[in-house]
Structures are given as structure tokens and as C-alpha cells.
């Protein structure tokens, strides 16, 4: 049979048979990268990858970055860290979470190592762990994204989380399901801020008002962007992505008047994993992530994160307010993290998962 | 020496199929309070589990119906009738197989509000219809036209058609079953549509959600219950596969059949032309056009679509996802070779010794991919496995784990295809070579190899394409993080449709590389579906 092949065909066959060797070679090359620092990033890959490359260039330390899927955001990486700890071999050096509560939860489980980064000196104490196991920086706000097409007059814009339960907007507004990520943290924190009774009343109002519960903040943003919903809760980075693509949307920082709870601000959090393979590299990476220049880059990037330090310039987009320009909701990360698993379980049952 | 490939293949099955699934099963009885059947005693007791299983079954049945309608219609019209351009359309029928289901979903979701149960069933049906089309076409080609004509002359056209239906039924059923198995365990598309705004969940989504919530304190029962809940599902699939294998054993795939006489469509000829076009447009055209439009900047309202934007999108795709593309293609190529290497010895055992191997090898397909991957995590990220890595290097964190998971997942395709070929090789040929005193290597190279080479090539091509589009395993296994399909779904979620479109087109171009190489090597034109 072999003699049926022409020389050219034999050449093609040989080249194709060589492919696995090349493939395995490239796999081996990937494995060699494990000499650098291993970073688990829950911040959107689109936003964080360039920053990671910048760190590599500046420090000469290679970074093996692992990102999460949109559907399992945050929880996927937290699960991975927990699984690795259970197996007795942490693979992650640095965990860069795009929200706070799950990081606090990891600290409570004893999976994070203390490190007081000099870069974090100017970050307000309320965003840092007293035992230095995690540090917050560059935050996102939980805002209302509003369709300018469906609500052309700014005077008609919703201004509060209670607008979701207003019959005026019945079936025309949305929020992500509070199963993972910032929405789970938001709901869990709200339960404490509002009190059990008021919170249950509000959640009951959401169901009664036929609020659309979508899978993610990206989904709520798209629903408003495409004119399917008049407004929805989302994060400022998702709002900014829509705005930068020319979508007719506006941003409202909710609950700013009277005794309303204020707008929830959820910082990123960075931490070193206990027993990680490259602790020294991990410290350098944490220092870099917490530096003012990185916070400024995050503010200037598409994710338009809000710097926690007043000295760092905020996002160029004026509708995303700076840290002192709005009233932030006061919430307790430790208490929220304590209640996270109960909330996750309860909402999973409520939402059929 | 001649036992080595067989030993390696059996060891592979034991290590990468039996062990992960065994560990999962063990964990359902080995709870924090010791050995017990608490998870089993409440099998399907949770209404959420029942609802998810119900949705999965309903979705799989509906999707399979769509796949059969589209795939069978396509194959019948292009192989059995005088449809215009049938010679051109027929080979194109396999092309939608190169399109990952997630791309089909993204394409349609961009055009219409694809969020409910019906759109999901339609999308999955479209994605998996090539299985039905390919196997139906194979069944139609295997029927001898002379037999059909004899039946027609003796008993009339209706009887001849009935006979034809009986002869191709096994292949159609096998195609439908493949579509059913893939759709019932599908996680990626229902999850994507959830992100787009649906409020019901499949069983695979439930398993994944429970698995992910483990970190926030979900109990052992919560984790074990969905795994136990899968048992009836797996049992149903195994029975269905068993039936399909029995049907297949009776299918008419021998000899050198003459083509079937073509049915004249008359004035319906051009009307019928719409069906294959619909099949190709839905499975290939829509995703490709939408991805092309995305790459041209259709989702960016700040500037008009242009070739310059296309150029920028492709440049961004190369810059930001070039590594991912290299990783995906490398893994797919290695999977293709690995699958052939493992399947060939197992196929010989199945054909020459015991058909039990056929049944054992379909197990990875009967188990939802998400569950198989979780089994890999539990097995190869365990305390004892980690101790082994101190000596061998970290297998769990390496691309090799992704490759073996893909090979395990696609093992049924390799073993069933190759065992079918081995069965058709007369044992006399092998015995003659052995009597002539040729060693096992010479026999493998000169007898078995050449006879099995075309089938091995087909298996390799299929594994390559399936590995490029596999999402569920890549989502669960951390080492699969760089896979392009996984990255694609993230990019689109994060509003990067322009780069995502370019990346999707690159992925599709990679998938069609294999048929092009095939043409280069064999010098033959692609003349038929399979």
C-alpha cells in the first residue's frame, strides 16, 4: 500500500505525522512556564490580560494566568483554589478576584497567606484585611444601566434599587441572578444593610414585579443595550463596555438621597495563596497589582475601574463617578462572606439551580 | 513486544475512563460520615434534580428530532434524488460538523432572540444534524441499487422503499442516537443561552453549578446527589447504545454496491433544493456570516463596518489569542493521534475476541462530558495523585491531561469505527501472514496498517474536529483554560465581538485544514459525505 504514495504525498504524510511531536513540544514549552508566577484572575480576561503582559515586561517574571468563565465567574477560581488546597498542592500563587466576599471567604478558610504590601499603604483601611491576608483596590460600582431609547428623558430615569419593584417598570427591568460574582455579594450584603424583613420584602417585590433575572451582569447590560429592557442593575465595567461601543445607554448611581442605602462599591481584591509555589514572585506581583500606576491603568482601561485612592485619576468617562463623588453603601465584607454560602444555597433553590 | 499496544490501550482505558468514573461513583457512597448510601437513597428526590433531568430529556428528544429532520432530509435529497448540484452539496454536508455548537448559538442569538427552550432545541438540532446526515448517507450508499431494483420489479415501488428504509434504519438510528447523546449532556449551549436570558436549566448545568458552588459550602449530599441522579440517565443511554450497536451489527455495509437509482423530483426539483440550503445555511452559513460581520465591527456603533476593522480584528485575534490557537490546534492534533493509537488495539480486541469491548468503550459517551471532566479533577487532583507528581511532574496542570480527557471522551468513535473495519478483514489474510513467519511489527505495517489506514485517517480527522469544538471538558479542567472555544465564549460575554468573530473564523479555518491535507495526501477529491 505504501508504494502507492507519490513522493509529494509521502512528504505530506511525514509532515503530518511530525505534527504530534511539534504539538507535544509546544505543550512542554507551556509547562516550562510554571517557573514563573501563577495568577488566577477573576477580572474579565479582556481587561486583565494586557496588564499581566505589562507586569511580565516590567518585572521579567513570567506569569501563567488562568481566567474564569463568565457563567462561573469568581466561584470557578475559588473552587479551583479550594480543590488544590484539599489535594495538598496549591498551584495558584496570587488570586486576583474582581470582587471581595469570596476572597474574604478564602481567608476565613485559612487558604490565604498574610502579606502587608508596601504598595497598599495609601489604600483606606476599610478595604484591607486587618491581618493582611487580602487587600482591596480598584472598585466597580453596582449601577443602573438605562436605555436612552426607551427612557429618553433623564428626569424619568430610575434612581433607586426600589424602582425595580415599582409597578411602573413591571417586566421592563432586570438584574443578574444572585448565584455568583458581584450580584451574590450585592444581595448578601443588602440582607445585612436592609435587615432581613426589608430585604425579603424587596426580593419578593422583584418577583412580583416580574423583574427579569438574567445570568450575568453582561447579560443585563446587553438586554438594556439592545432595548429589550428599560433599565437593569449591572457593574460599571459592563456599562462602560456598552458605552464605548456607542450603545445609547446612561449610568445611574442609585440610592443617593435621604435614608437610601447608597451605591454598592465592590473592590477588586488581591491575595497570596497559603503554601503557594512561588511566594517571592507572588509578593512582587501583588506589589505591582496594588501600585497606584496599576490602579490608574485599570481606571483608564475599558473596565473603567474606580480607584480607591483619591490621588489616582479616575475613569475618563464622566458618568462613572469618582470615589468621593457619590455616597457608597456601607457594608461589612467579613459578615457578608460569613453569610455567602447560606445565600448561595438559598438563591440557588429559589432560582432552580 | 506485540502485546505492548494492547497493554497500553487497556491501561489507558483503566486509568482515564474506568478510574475517573469509578472515583466519582465511590464519592457518592463515601461521605464525610463514612460509607453510606444516603445520596443513593434520595435518588431524584430533589424536585430541582428531577426538573433538570426532565428538561435535559425533553431538550435531547426535541433536538434529536430536529437533527433527524434536517440531517436525514439533506442526505436523502442529495443522495437519493436528482436534486440540482447534488454532487456539490453532498460532500458539503459534513462541513457544519466543523462549527462548534457555541458558534451556532452565538450566530443565531445575534440575529434573533434565541433564549427559550425551543430555540435551544433548534440550535442543538442544527449543530448535531451532521451526525444524522453523514450516517444516513453512508447507509444509502451501502444499499445495492440492484437489490432495490429487484424488490421494485418483484413487489412494486412501495415495497422497495420499505426495504430501503429497513436497510438504512440502523445508520439513521445510530446518527440520531449520537445527536441524542451529545445534546442530552450538552452544557455549553444551554449555559450560553442562560447568559442570554433563559430561566430553565439542564441536568449538566445543575451538575456544573453544584460543582462550582462546592467552594461556598455546598454539602457532600449536594455534590453527590446530581451524580447519582445521572445514573438513570446513563443507564438509558447505555441501553440505547446497546440497541444501536445491535442494529449496526445487522446493517448492510459489505460488498461493492451499485448506486441506488435516483428518484425524479420533477417540478419539485428546485423547491426541494431549499432543504439542503437550509441545512447548510443554518449549520454553517449563519455562524460564518455573523462571525464575519462581528469581525467587521457590526456590534460597534461608533464606526461603520469596514475592511480596516476586519484587519484590526484579525490582528487583535492573532496578538491576544495566538497562543490559545496554537494550544488548541496542538491539543487537537495530539488527540487525533492519541485516539487512533488507543483505539486500534481496542478495536482489534473488540473484533477478534469479545464485543464486550465495544460496549465498554461507549461508556465515556454515555456519561455527560461535564461529569467525565469532574471525574478527572477528582482523580488527578487528589492527595495521592499529587504525591506521584512529585516524581513525574505535574500532569494535572499540563495540556496532556486535556489530551487524554479528549481521547477518553471520543474513544467510542475510534473503537467502533475501527472494530467495524477489522471485522471486515478476512482472518485468513492475517493467518497467512503469520504462517509465512512475519513478525507482529511486519504484520502490523503491511497487513493491518494499510487495510485500516483510511478508517484511521477518518477517526483522526473526526477527533481533530471534535477536539477543536469541545467546550464542556475545557471549561471544567483548569489545564483546558487556554482552549479557543472557552476563550471565545468569554470574549463575547465581555463585549469583544469583533475579535471574537475573527477568532471564530480562524478556528473554523483550522477545522477545514484536515480535509485539505487529506486531499493533498490522497490526491482524491472529496466525493462523498463520509
For residue B437, with 0-12 CB atoms within 10 Å meaning exposed, 13-18 middle and 19 or more buried, which class applies? exposed
For chain B, say whether A60 makes contact (Cβ under 8 Å): no
- Give the burial string for B288-316 (b: 16+ CB within 10 Å, else e): bebbbbbbbbbbbeeeebeeebbebbbeb
The answer to the question of residue A96 being in a domain is yes
Nearest residue in chain B measured CA to CA from A20: B334
Using DSSP, state whether A232 is helix, strand or coil.
strand
The answer to the question of residue A336 being in a domain is no
Q: What values do phi and psi take at B209, rounded to 5?
A: -65, -45
**pLDDT category, B177, cuts 50, 70, 90?**
confident
Single out the residue of A24, A12, A6 nearest to residue B514, CA to CA.
A12
The CATH number of the structural domain formed by B304-518 is 1.10.3720.10
Q: Which residue has the cell 431524584?
A: B44
- For chain A, the first-to-last Cα distance in angstroms comes to 56
For chain A, say whether B475 makes contact (Cβ under 8 Å): yes
**pLDDT category, A320, cuts 50, 70, 90?**
very high
pLDDT of residue B14: 93
Domain that holds residue A236: 140-264
Q: Is residue A211 located within the same domain as residue A284?
A: no
User: B398-442 pLDDT, tens per residue?
Assistant: 899 999 999 999 998 888 888 888 887 777 877 787 787 777 777
Sequence-separated (6 or more) residues with CB below 8 Å from residue A327: A255, A256, A262, A263
pTM: 0.81
Q: What is the CATH number of the domain that holds A172?
A: 3.40.190.10
Q: Is residue A175 located within the same domain as residue A282?
A: no
The answer to which of A50-64, B291-305, B401-415 has the lowest mean pLDDT is B291-305
Count of domains forming chain A:
2
Give me the residues of A, 237-266, that contact B with CB < 8 A: 238, 241-242, 244-247
Q: Is residue A147 located within the same domain as residue A260?
A: yes
Q: How far apart are CA A11 and CA B494, in angstroms?
A: 44
Cell representation of residue B312? 484590526
Task: Pick left, alpha or beta for residue B369 (phi over 0 → left; psi -120 to 50 → alpha; otherwise beta).
Answer: alpha
Average pLDDT over residues A269-273: 96
Q: Which helix (H) or strand (E) holds A41?
A: strand A37-41
Q: Which helix (H) or strand (E) holds A260?
A: none
User: A293-314 pLDDT, tens per residue?
Assistant: 999 999 998 889 999 998 999 9
Q: What values do phi and psi take at B481, rounded to 5?
A: -50, -40
Q: Is residue A180 located within the same domain as residue A156?
A: yes
Decide if B40-275 and B304-518 have a common fold.
yes
Q: Is residue A75 located within the same domain as residue A219?
A: no
**pLDDT category, A30, cuts 50, 70, 90?**
very low
CB B447 within 8 A of CB B427: no
Q: Is residue A148 located within the same domain as residue A132?
A: no
CB B530 within 8 A of CB B138: yes
All residues of chain B having their beta carbon less than 8 Å from the beta carbon of residue A88 are: 383, 386
Domain B40-275: CATH superfamily is MetI-like (1.10.3720.10)
Single out the residue of B126, B238, B108 nearest to residue B186, CA to CA.
B126
Cell representation of residue B282? 443554518
The answer to the question of residue A254 being in a domain is yes
| Contact criterion met (CB < 8 Å) for B326 and A66 | no
Q: How far apart are CA A118 and CA A124, in angstroms?
A: 13
The answer to the question of residue A55 being in a domain is yes
Provide the greatest CA pair distance for chain A: 88
Sequence-separated (6 or more) residues with CB below 8 Å from residue B440: B1, B2
Q: What values do phi and psi take at B196, rounded to 5?
A: -80, -10
The answer to which of A41-50, A295-304, B100-109, B293-302 has the lowest mean pLDDT is A41-50
For residue A109, with 0-12 CB atoms within 10 Å meaning exposed, 13-18 middle and 19 or more buried, which class applies? middle
The answer to the question of residue A328 being in a domain is no
| Contact criterion met (CB < 8 Å) for B490 and A66 | no
Q: How far from B396 is each of A67, A230, B195, CA to CA, in Å?
A: 17, 46, 29
Q: How far apart are CA A222 and CA A220, in angstroms?
A: 5
Question: Which of B186, B193, B196, B197 would best serve as a mutation to test chain A binding (most A beta carbons within 10 A)?
Answer: B197
Nearest residue in chain B measured CA to CA from A218: B493
Average pLDDT, rounded, for chain B: 82
All residues of chain B having their beta carbon less than 8 Å from the beta carbon of residue A221 are: 495
Domain ranges for chain B, please list them: 40-275, 304-518
Amino acid at each position: 500500500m505504501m508504494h502507492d504514495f507519490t513522493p509529494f504525498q509521502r512528504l505530506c504524510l511525514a509532515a503530518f505525522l511530525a505534527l504530534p511531536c511539534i504539538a507535544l513540544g509546544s505543550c512542554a514549552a507551556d509547562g516550562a512556564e510554571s517557573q514563573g508566577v501563577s495568577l488566577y484572575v477573576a477580572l474579565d480576561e479582556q481587561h486583565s490580560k494586557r496588564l499581566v503582559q505589562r507586569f511580565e515586561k516590567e518585572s521579567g517574571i513570567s506569569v501563567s494566568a488562568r481566567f474564569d468563565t463568565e457563567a462561573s465567574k469568581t466561584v470557578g477560581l475559588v473552587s479551583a483554589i479550594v480543590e488544590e488546597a484539599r489535594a495538598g498542592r496549591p498551584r495558584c500563587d496570587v488570586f486576583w478576584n474582581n470582587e471581595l466576599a469570596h476572597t474574604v471567604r478564602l481567608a476565613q478558610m485559612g487558604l490565604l497567606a498574610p502579606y502587608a504590601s508596601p504598595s497598599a499603604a495609601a489604600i483606606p483601611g476599610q478595604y484591607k484585611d486587618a491581618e493582611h491576608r487580602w487587600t482591596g483596590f480598584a472598585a466597580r460600582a453596582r449601577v443602573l444601566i438605562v436605555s436612552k431609547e426607551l427612557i429618553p428623558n433623564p428626569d424619568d430615569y430610575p434612581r433607586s434599587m426600589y424602582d425595580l419593584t415599582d409597578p411602573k417598570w413591571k417586566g421592563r427591568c432586570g438584574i443578574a441572578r444572585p448565584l455568583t460574582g458581584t450580584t451574590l455579594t450585592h444581595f448578601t450584603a443588602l440582607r445585612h444593610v436592609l435587615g432581613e424583613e426589608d430585604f425579603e420584602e424587596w426580593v419578593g417585590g422583584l418577583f412580583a414585579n416580574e423583574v427579569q433575572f438574567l445570568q450575568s451582569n453582561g447579560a443585563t447590560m446587553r438586554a438594556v443595550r439592545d432595548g429589550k429592557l428599560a433599565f437593569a442593575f449591572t457593574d460599571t465595567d459592563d456599562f462602560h463596555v456598552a458605552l464605548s461601543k456607542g450603545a445609547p445607554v446612561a449610568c445611574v448611581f442609585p440610592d443617593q438621597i435621604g435614608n437610601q442605602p447608597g451605591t454598592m462599591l465592590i473592590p477588586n481584591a488581591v491575595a497570596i495563596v497559603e503554601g503557594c509555589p512561588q511566594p517571592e514572585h507572588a509578593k512582587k506581583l501583588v506589589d505591582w497589582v496594588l501600585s497606584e500606576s496599576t490602579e490608574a491603568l485599570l481606571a483608564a482601561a475599558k473596565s473603567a475601574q474606580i480607584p480607591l485612592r483619591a490621588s489616582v485619576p479616575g475613569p475618563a468617562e464622566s458618568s462613572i463617578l469618582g470615589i468621593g463623588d457619590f455616597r457608597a453603601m456601607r457594608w461589612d465584607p467579613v459578615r457578608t462572606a460569613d453569610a455567602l454560602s447560606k445565600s448561595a444555597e438559598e438563591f440557588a433553590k429559589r432560582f432552580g439551580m | 513486544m506485540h502485546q505492548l499496544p494492547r497493554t497500553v490501550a487497556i491501561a489507558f482505558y483503566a486509568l482515564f475512563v474506568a478510574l475517573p468514573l469509578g472515583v466519582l461513583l465511590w464519592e457518592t457512597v463515601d461521605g464525610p460520615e463514612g460509607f453510606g448510601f444516603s445520596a443513593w437513597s434520595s435518588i431524584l428526590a430533589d424536585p430541582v434534580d428531577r426538573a433538570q433531568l426532565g428538561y435535559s430529556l425533553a431538550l435531547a428528544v426535541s433536538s434529536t428530532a430536529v437533527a433527524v429532520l434536517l440531517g436525514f432530509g439533506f442526505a436523502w435529497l442529495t443522495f437519493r434524488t436528482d436534486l440540482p448540484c447534488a454532487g456539490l452539496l453532498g460532500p458539503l454536508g459534513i462541513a457544519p460538523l466543523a462549527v462548534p455548537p457555541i458558534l451556532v448559538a452565538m450566530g443565531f442569538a445575534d440575529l434573533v432572540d434565541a433564549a427559550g427552550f425551543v430555540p435551544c432545541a433548534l440550535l442543538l438540532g442544527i449543530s448535531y444534524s451532521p451526525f444524522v446526515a453523514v450516517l444516513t448517507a453512508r447507509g444509502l450508499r451501502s444499499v445495492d441499487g440492484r437489490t432495490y431494483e429487484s424488490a421494485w420489479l418483484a413487489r412494486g415501488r412501495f415495497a422497495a422503499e420499505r426495504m430501503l428504509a429497513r436497510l438504512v434504519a440502523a445508520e439513521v438510528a445510530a446518527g440520531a442516537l449520537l445527536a441524542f447523546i451529545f445534546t442530552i449532556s450538552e452544557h455549553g449551549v444551554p449555559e450560553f443561552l442562560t447568559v442570554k436570558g433563559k430561566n430553565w436549566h439542564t441536568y449538566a448545568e445543575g451538575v456544573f453549578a453544584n460543582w462550582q458552588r462546592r467552594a461556598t459550602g455546598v454539602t457532600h449530599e449536594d455534590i453527590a446527589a446530581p451524580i447519582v441522579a445521572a445514573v438513570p440517565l446513563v443507564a438509558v443511554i447505555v441501553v440505547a447504545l446497546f440497541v444501536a450497536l445491535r442494529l449496526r451489527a445487522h446493517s448492510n455495509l459489505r460488498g461493492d454496491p451499485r448506486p441506488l437509482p435516483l428518484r425524479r423530483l420533477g417540478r419539485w426539483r428546485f423547491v426541494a433544493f431549499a432543504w439542503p440550503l437550509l441545512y447548510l445555511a443554518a449549520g454553517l452559513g449563519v455562524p460564518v456570516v455573523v462571525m464575519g460581520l462581528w469581525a467587521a465591527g457590526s456590534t460597534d456603533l461608533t464606526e461603520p463596518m469596514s475592511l480596516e476593522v476586519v484587519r484590526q480584528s484579525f490582528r487583535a485575534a492573532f496578538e491576544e489569542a495566538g497562543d490559545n490557537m496554537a494550544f488548541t490546534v496542538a491539543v487537537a492534533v495530539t488527540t487525533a493521534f492519541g485516539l487512533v493509537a488507543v483505539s486500534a488495539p481496542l478495536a482489534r480486541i473488540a473484533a477478534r475476541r469479545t464485543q464486550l469491548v465495544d460496549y465498554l468503550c461507549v461508556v465515556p459517551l454515555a456519561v455527560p462530558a461535564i461529569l467525565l471532566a469532574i471525574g478527572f479533577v477528582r482523580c488527578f487532583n487528589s492527595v495521592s495523585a499529587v504525591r506521584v507528581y512529585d516524581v513525574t511532574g505535574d500532569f494535572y496542570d499540563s495540556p496532556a491531561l486535556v489530551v487524554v480527557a479528549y481521547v477518553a471522551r471520543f474513544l467510542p468513535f475510534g473503537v467502533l469505527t475501527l472494530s467495524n473495519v477489522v471485522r471486515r478483514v478476512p482472518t485468513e489474510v492475517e493467518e497467512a501472514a503469520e504462517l509465512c513467519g512475519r513478525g507482529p511489527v511486519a504484520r502490523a505495517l503491511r497487513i493491518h496498517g494499510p487495510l485500516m489506514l483510511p478508517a484511521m485517517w477518518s477517526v483522526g480527522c473526526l477527533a481533530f474536529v471534535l477536539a477543536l469544538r469541545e467546550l464542556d471538558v475545557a471549561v471544567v479542567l483548569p489545564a483546558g483554560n487556554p482552549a479557543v472555544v472557552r476563550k471565545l465564549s468569554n470574549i463575547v460575554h465581555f463585549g469583544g465581538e469583533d475579535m471574537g468573530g475573527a477568532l471564530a473564523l480562524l478556528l473554523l479555518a483550522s477545522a477545514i485544514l484536515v480535509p485539505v491535507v487529506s486531499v493533498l495526501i490522497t490526491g482524491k477529491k472529496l466525493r462523498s459525505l463520509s
